[in-house]
Amino acid sequence: MTFLTLTLTLDHHVATVALNSPPANVLSRVALFELNQAFGDLETNRAARAVLLTGTGRFFCAGADIKELALVNSARQGIVLAQEGQALLNRIERLDIPVVAALNGTCLGGGLELAMACHMRLAVAGIMLGLPETKLGLIPGFGGTQRLARIIGPARAAELILSGETMSAEQAFAWGLVNRVVSESQLMTDARALTVSFANKSRPAIQAALRAIRSGLDSPMAEGLSREAELFGELCESPEKKEGIQAFLEKRQPRFVES
């Protein structure tokens, strides 16, 4: 596909989606539509076994297009916009292959909501992250009030959302919002190495792990444990499990086939 606001490439089973709408990579309606197209394709692309999401320039993503947002003046318009953004981020979060966000620059508003929909986040040292919507008389509408509280806890989420202030990558790491803080020169190298390591694992095992984690977040502990046991049992019958165990016993690297 050819896009106006992003690029999508696939190399050695790792798909790289790069936001490319200078200067701030805002989530315009076109960008939202194209992200939905790109991740819709990745849902069915068997060659893609991990996704790396990043930005170009000084920003990862500065959030919504404020000029477009100024035209949203009714409750119905606002609900539709929020639901469209939520549907896209749900699609990313529920992808059955790992999605790693490589935060190359400033990450605000809808941009941080987009990053939180990814399964993990790496950030360049010193960049700023935040949800400034209250300064615009709004709240995060693409799932930010829900995901942030689940990631860092309700009290810290309330502080960040209510204040509308930004935090550094280092503070985000301390609060558990990002997995790693790295230098600018190391960001893509480290993120690429992480996605490649996932892509080289058994696809059914990776898929089952992501599904088990999601199940635990969406249901009580007892239901999550039951789902985990079901997925574990299913994998016990898979050729990947047989190969993984045999490789361990033979002290060699497993040779997982495309599944």
pLDDT band at residue 258 using 50, 70 and 90 as cut-offs: low
On the question of pLDDT at 109 being above 80, the answer is: yes
On the question of pLDDT at 1 being above 80, the answer is: no
Q: Would residue 133 show up in a list of annotated catalytic residues for this protein?
A: yes
User: CB neighbours of 49 closer than 8 A, spacing ≥ 6?
Assistant: 13, 14, 97, 198, 199, 203, 206
Q: Would residue 223 show up in a list of annotated catalytic residues for this protein?
A: no
pLDDT of 257: 76
Tokens standing for 242? 């047989």
Which residues on adjacent β-strands are paired with residue 9? 16
Catalytic residue among 68, 133, 223, 250: 133
Q: By percentage, how much of the chain surpasses pLDDT 70?
A: 99
Poorest-pLDDT segment among 111-125, 194-208, 216-230: 216-230
Domain boundaries, given as residue ranges, for the chain: 6-199, 203-249
pLDDT of 104: 98
What number is the average pLDDT over the span 14-26?
97
Cα–Cα nearest to 101, from 158, 151, 45: 151
pLDDT of 189: 97
pLDDT of 255: 87
On the question of pLDDT at 91 being above 60, the answer is: yes
Query: Can you say how many angstroms the Cα of residue 15 is from the centroid of all Cα atoms in its chain?
Result: 13
Contact by Cβ (8 Å): 116, 160: no
Give the C-alpha separation, 38 to 93, whole Å: 14
On the question of pLDDT at 259 being above 70, the answer is: no
Mean pLDDT rounded to a whole number for the chain: 95
Give the C-alpha separation, 26 to 21, whole Å: 7
The CATH superfamily assigned to 6-199 is 2-enoyl-CoA Hydratase; Chain A, domain 1 (3.90.226.10)
Catalytic residue among 43, 68, 93, 113: 113
Report pLDDT digits (tens) over 161-176.
999 999 999 999 999 9
pLDDT of 63: 96
Cα–Cα nearest to 209, from 98, 90, 47, 66: 98
Q: Do domains 6-199 and 203-249 have the same CATH topology?
A: no
Concatenated DSSP letters of 153-177:
-HHHHHHHHHH--EEEHHHHHHTTS
On the question of pLDDT at 29 being above 80, the answer is: yes
User: What is the pTM for the complete model shown?
Assistant: 0.94
Report pLDDT digits (tens) over 141-168.
999 999 999 999 999 999 999 999 999 9
Tokens 């315009």, residue located:
28
Domain 203-249, what architecture? Orthogonal Bundle (1.10)
